[in-house]
Structure 1
Amino acid sequence: MDLRITHNIAALNAYNRLNKNNKSTGSSMEKLSSGQRINKAADDAAGLAISEKMRGQIRGLNQAHRNIQDGVSVVQTADGAFQQITDMIHRQRELIVQGMNGTYTYEDKRNIEQEIHQLTEAIDSIAKGTDFNTINLLARDDYQILADRSSHTVEVTTSGPFPPTVTDLEQYTYFFPIGTTEVPLTVQSSDTGTTVSDTYTTDARMTPITSTDGRQGYNDYEKNVHTHTETTATTERSYERTLVTDPRFKELDVKSNTINNVFFQTTLIPNGTIVGQYPDFGGFEDRYTAVEIDGVSHTLNEFTLIGSSVTADTISAVYEKDGIQVEKIMSSDGSGFKAEFKVRNQSGIDGKQIRFSAVFQPEYNGAYTISSSSGVPVGGTASNTEIPDSGTVFELSNDLVDYNFSFLSGGSYAKPDSLTTGGAALMSGSTADGITPSWEIAGLDDGAVAEFGISLGNFNFKKDVYLIKNQTTTEIDSIVETVTTDIKDIDYIPPKLDIQTGDAENQFISIPLYNVKADGLGITNIGILPPAVPENSLARTDGALARVTNYRSVYGALQNRLEHTMNNVDQYAENLTAAESRIRDADMAKEMMEVTKSGILTQTAQAMLAHSNQNPQSILQLFES
């Protein structure tokens, strides 16, 4: 053993190791207590530099998040005002459409005009009062004009004359006294006048552009076209009256027809029958034909149709109810008409009590004069004895035709038991009196037939049918069209708010600020009373709506962009924070392990130092020996 007392090399070595272990333990304890791996530049100079730059970015991104939130608030504030302005322009347009209706008086229109003007002032008030942190958003006039291609043009075009147009209105329904003079096509009146029409159209749109120096701007385009047309035309009105000799208009034939005023209406012909073309002389209807069987009354349209036939001059139909058959036969011989009724008992029971009545309703404009040269009472009820056995019973007359009314006589025909004129249930719209004959059969045996009927004859037409032509000839002499076109075509850079959306320079989103006052929207002088023109005002409200809609679409897109940018900033900050944590933060488990290891080594070094200090004591043993 090399024994020296001047230098205790072993102790020095142990002492050095103890110092190193103490230093290592202190470093680990510092990291554990702070939670950070780098507490001073000496811990990791390069890591500290990277970490500090990352911390600057993270704090910048957190502030950018708040900036973007402010930007979203700006857009939402403006859009809320845009919504109110849009609603008011819609209301103005509604009022203009209302005021253009001719049912309103001047006072009404003045009240409407007042509301339109109040809405215009309210639009200005909202635009001027919509601020964010005292910054006005919607009444900005501080635009930078890049280019102005606006123009005003007036074009006048004259055309004409044009070939005349002729419109004819022909009618065959006019009756004039026989011998009325025909009138050739003659001009009755002529006049020349000028009609004026005005149309207004508008086209407004906003288009994003980029200036030569890279700035974001817009093209503001609005085209208003006023077309004023003056049409000068000469109108002639002519009249012609021509006698119609077509015999069909006076034919005395029973014909099926779809006219509702019918002659001898039956269920066989769905819409009834009529005599000739003109006029409708009248007839019987099933609903007013009553058949009383043993005291029980029915109308003929309640019977069942069991047979029918139609020829050129005859229509017949057979009805049946409770064994009682009614045959109705309508016919014409070219000079008059005949209606026959045959009531048969097919019930198998003798002595049927039958009462039959039918209403004849004369028709021609619902007015006939009924008279009786045979002395039959008119306007009341006549008995069987007051009715002549044959010949004319009544004369029917109006300004168109005269004809006689009589009952069929001779053979098996029986005249009515009573006869009533006036007070009948007439056709819809008719004011003529009815003629209601009634036949009573005290006992109709099984198989027996009762016959009766009426005839119309001795027709005397007092008027003829004429063709009337009303002709209108219009010749356009000239059309003068004046087209006034106002175009606003401006490239401009609007004032803006730059929203800092990142932690570095040139990381921003610009929010353009517009002018949505009445003058900026082109609706300053709209209304429905002079000097405003309703049609032009209507077109300008359409343009204003298009302009505001464009602005709102820009702001809507900006809000979506800002929100997506904010999400990206949040994600970016999160990722940077994770990266900075990996550089700066301490690994607690590792440091605990280092503390444990250093503690053990420190204790060992202390033991070795004590042991090394005991080695020089062996020199004393040499002196003692």
Structure 2
Amino acid sequence: MRINHNIQSINTYRQLNLTQASVSKSLEKLSSGLRINQAADDAAGLAISKKMQAQVRGLNQAERNMLDGISLTQTADGGLAGIQDMVQRMRELALQASNGTLTTEDRRAIQKELEQLKKGINEIANNTDFNGIRPLTQEVTTPFLPGANAAMVDIVFFIDYSGSMLGANRLDAVIQGISGFVDGLTKKSLNANIAVVNITTQNPYYKPFSENALVIKNNVETLNTATSLTKPYENINKTVPEGEIGQKLGYRSGSEKIFVLFTDVDNESGSGSEGDTAVLLEGTNDILGYDEDDIQTYVFSFGSLADTAFDQLTDTTGGKLYKSDEISTADDVKNKLQNDLTDDIENNSGGGISSEAQKGILYLQVGANQSDEMEIRLTNATTAGLGIHGVSVDTHEDAQLAIMQLDVAIEKVSMERSKYGAYQNALKYLHTNVTNAAENATSSESRITDANMAFEMTEFTKRNILMQSGQAMFAQSNQLPQGILELLKS
């Protein structure tokens, strides 16, 4: 028997401390409901669970993002529904104006209602808003059409309707080449609208922008109202965006502006000069050579005298002069339109996706990871975007053209509404998938981090009993040295 060291007491004390630590750990798990309360509890499990937790929280946020996206597409669809009704009414009026029983005054009355409907369409497009985003004023075409998200190019054809242009079938060659020209621009990722201006009239006559080749061809054909005065410079000056004609054509915001002149004249019958017009089209108003702000000008010269009349205009703006010997036949004209001109416009405009077009694209974060995005392409549902900015029913011919333009607009609005409906359905399916993924990830995280309360309660009860017995045995072990006193007494 020893006095200095009570080994039994020391052993009991050690066991009691271990039991107390176990009881403390059980109390921590029972009070928090978590199996892992600190890194030491399960280092590997903690790392895995935190990664899963980030995934779960990301999926939950993606779920809310998609609900916001659905709300945006519903807002856009609601605005387009109103616009569609107004375009349908405009077509109805155009059909009415086409009737030969109407007088000029009757058509003027119809035109007044058309103008109000145009204003109403622009009001809806400009005021349809979701959290500061206006989905119906954006410059991105539908992804279901060729050329989606392409660089925007607004092209104006200046047509010389003088006798020599008509007599040599040069105008017919231009008309025949328009479809190939429009297709060529689309294939080169250029989102092109084309307007037409007659440079051979006493009072300038024009047709607004359209992206439809049939409408453009019809515009060129119906503008054949020539007089003896050919005024290329004067009409070009009036067709810049801030000009008398330019304000009516419906240029798109942020688009590349390009002029194409078809003529065989070598002089100006009206006011203006090549130098003054070159300065106007040169972006810096300082003739130092082509820069990206210029309105690029291309000239199809059908006469030898015109071959040198417009070189300053094309050189200054970065365009090109197609000389008479290059376009001597109808096939030459069509080839230059469909191939050379489309290549030149692509090269000078940069082609591809424009920064302005990018503004019309929204990316919804629909998953928990960096690349989990869904692209939403917005719409330009203004009258300019629908190609009905200049719709007129002043004459029977205008009313017939208006019907064609409005048919195109109705088809475009219908496709845009279909697009937004497809977006909504896709987002709903993605939402279902994300909620399911979040549930499964939460279940996996729970198995790692959550405490099994029944098991922990059993462990706590066992350890609590051990602690109480340990305390009793500790007291007993401390009494063992008392036996030495009995020996000393004897």
**Aligned ranges 1:536-551 → 2 under 5 Å:** 536-551=401-416
Please name the residue that 2:448 is paired with. Answer: 583
Q: Structure 1 unaligned runs (5+)?
A: 160-201, 230-483
Please name the residue that 1:21 is paired with. Answer: 19
Identical residues among aligned pairs (%): 42
Q: How far, CA to CA, are the matches of 1:565 and 1:142 in structure 2?
A: 24
1:57–1:503 CA contact under 8 A, matched in 2: yes
Deviation at 1:593, TM superposition (A): 0.8
Q: SS at the partner of 1:135?
A: coil
Q: TM-score, normalised by structure 2?
A: 0.58
Q: How far, CA to CA, are the matches of 1:558 and 1:219 in structure 2?
A: 25
The 3 A distance-change label for structure 1 pair 128 and 157 is: same
Q: How far, CA to CA, are the matches of 1:210 and 1:104 in structure 2?
A: 43
Please name the residue that 2:248 is paired with. Answer: none
Q: How far, CA to CA, are the matches of 1:106 and 1:521 in structure 2?
A: 27
Please name the residue that 1:63 is paired with. Answer: 61
Tell whether 2:65 aligns with 1:75.
no
Please name the residue that 1:88 is paired with. Answer: 86
Tell whether 2:42 aligns with 1:44.
yes
Tell whether 2:471 aligns with 1:599.
no
Please name the residue that 2:364 is paired with. Answer: 499
Please name the residue that 2:325 is paired with. Answer: none
Deviation at 1:611, TM superposition (A): 2.3
Q: SS at the partner of 2:481?
A: helix
**Aligned ranges 1:436-515 → 2 under 5 Å:** 493-494=357-358, 495-515=360-380
Q: What's the RMSD between the two structures over aligned residues?
A: 3.7
Q: How far, CA to CA, are the matches of 2:488 and 2:188 in structure 1?
A: 104
Tell whether 2:428 aligns with 1:566.
no
Tell whether 2:381 aligns with 1:516.
yes
User: Could you report, residue by residue, the CA deviation over 1:222-253 in whole angstroms, capped at 9, with x for unpaired residues?
Assistant: 21232969xxxxxxxxxxxxxxxxxxxxxxxx
Q: SS at the partner of 1:620?
A: helix
Q: SS at the partner of 1:509?
A: strand
Please name the residue that 2:201 is paired with. Answer: none
2:140–2:380 CA contact under 8 A, matched in 1: no
Deviation at 1:148, TM superposition (A): 6.3
Please name the residue that 2:478 is paired with. Answer: 613
Q: How far, CA to CA, are the matches of 2:126 and 2:152 in structure 1?
A: 27
Q: How far, CA to CA, are the matches of 2:107 and 2:443 in structure 1?
A: 70
CA radius of gyration, larger in: 1
Q: SS at the partner of 1:504?
A: coil
Q: How far, CA to CA, are the matches of 1:218 and 1:510 in structure 2?
A: 19
Deviation at 1:219, TM superposition (A): 9.0
Please name the residue that 1:125 is paired with. Answer: 123
Please name the residue that 2:225 is paired with. Answer: none
Q: How far, CA to CA, are the matches of 2:29 and 2:476 in structure 1?
A: 33
Q: How far, CA to CA, are the matches of 1:211 and 1:151 in structure 2?
A: 19
Aligned length: 320
Q: How far, CA to CA, are the matches of 1:23 and 1:110 in structure 2?
A: 95
Q: TM-score, normalised by structure 1?
A: 0.46
**Aligned ranges 1:224-623 → 2 under 5 Å:** 224=214, 225-226=217-218, 493-494=357-358, 495-530=360-395, 533-623=398-488
Please name the residue that 1:34 is paired with. Answer: 32
User: Could you report, residue by residue, the CA deviation over 1:99-144 in whole angstroms, capped at 9, with x for unpaired residues?
Assistant: 2223333333322221111111111111111222222221224897
The 3 A distance-change label for structure 1 pair 504 and 108 is: same
The 3 A distance-change label for structure 1 pair 32 and 60 is: same
**Match of 1:561, as an amino acid?**
A
Q: How far, CA to CA, are the matches of 1:52 and 1:218 in structure 2?
A: 48
Q: SS at the partner of 2:213?
A: strand
Deviation at 1:536, TM superposition (A): 0.6
Q: Which one has the bigger helix percentage?
A: 2
Deviation at 1:157, TM superposition (A): 10
Q: How far, CA to CA, are the matches of 1:14 and 1:128 in structure 2?
A: 83
Q: How far, CA to CA, are the matches of 1:526 and 1:51 in structure 2?
A: 63
